[in-house]
């Protein structure tokens, strides 16, 4: 059975959609900072956030097409989905720049843990 999901996020009319869920995250151009809840974040955080989204997108697609056993593949896919949904929820009502920055750093930390788990799965295969 071939999986038809190719992209976990996309940008439509300047807004980021994760699994077809419209977020409060705006990415109008790669040359402009990301805007979350009408607050522009720094260039560094914008690059970090774009990297995380792109990496999760790649990791999800790669996970679905790997030769891990089904249990490992499903476990890793669920962890990726949970982190993506955490991103959706993290910025729903948040309008404080410090809190937004904190959440991005937390998401980055969670992403790092996920990368480690993926590497662990690859070593055991």
Rounded Cα distance, 14 and 31, in Å: 13
31 lies in some domain:
yes
Q: What domain range includes position 106?
A: 9-124
Rounded Cα distance, 104 and 1, in Å: 35
65 lies in some domain:
yes
Rounded Cα distance, 58 and 87, in Å: 16
Please determine, for residue 122, whether its predicted confidence score (pLDDT) is greater than 80. Answer: no
CA distances, 29 to each of 14, 34, 85, 110 (Å): 8, 8, 23, 26
115, two tokens? 């990368």
Please determine, for residue 95, whether its predicted confidence score (pLDDT) is greater than 80. Answer: no
**What local confidence, expressed as pLDDT, does residue 33 receive?**
95
Please determine, for residue 111, whether its predicted confidence score (pLDDT) is greater than 50. Answer: yes
Residues 6+ apart with CB under 8 A from 68: 76, 121, 125
Whether the predicted model's global pTM rises above the 0.75 cut: yes
pLDDT mean over 70-83: 89
* 25 — pLDDT class (breaks 50, 70, 90): very high
**What local confidence, expressed as pLDDT, does residue 73 receive?**
84
100 lies in some domain:
yes
Closest CA to 7 of 51, 60, 48: 60
111 lies in some domain:
yes
Closest CA to 39 of 98, 122, 103: 98
4 lies in some domain:
no
59 lies in some domain:
yes
Q: Is 52 helix (H, G, I), strand (E, B) or coil?
A: helix
Domain count, the chain: 1
């Amino acid at each position: 059975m071939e999986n038809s999901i190719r992209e976990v996020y996309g940008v439509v009319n300047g807004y980021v959609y994760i699994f077809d869920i419209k977020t409060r995250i705006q990415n109008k151009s790669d040359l402009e900072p990301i805007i979350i809840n009408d607050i522009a974040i720094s260039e560094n955080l914008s690059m970090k956030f774009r990297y995380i989204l792109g990496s999760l997108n790649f990791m999800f697609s790669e996970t679905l097409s790997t030769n891990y056993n089904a249990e490992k593949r499903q476990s890793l896919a669920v962890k990726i989905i949970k982190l993506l949904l955490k991103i959706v929820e993290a910025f729903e009502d948040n309008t404080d720049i410090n809190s937004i920055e904190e959440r991005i750093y937390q998401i980055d930390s969670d992403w790092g843990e996920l990368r480690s788990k993926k590497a662990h799965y690859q070593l055991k295969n």
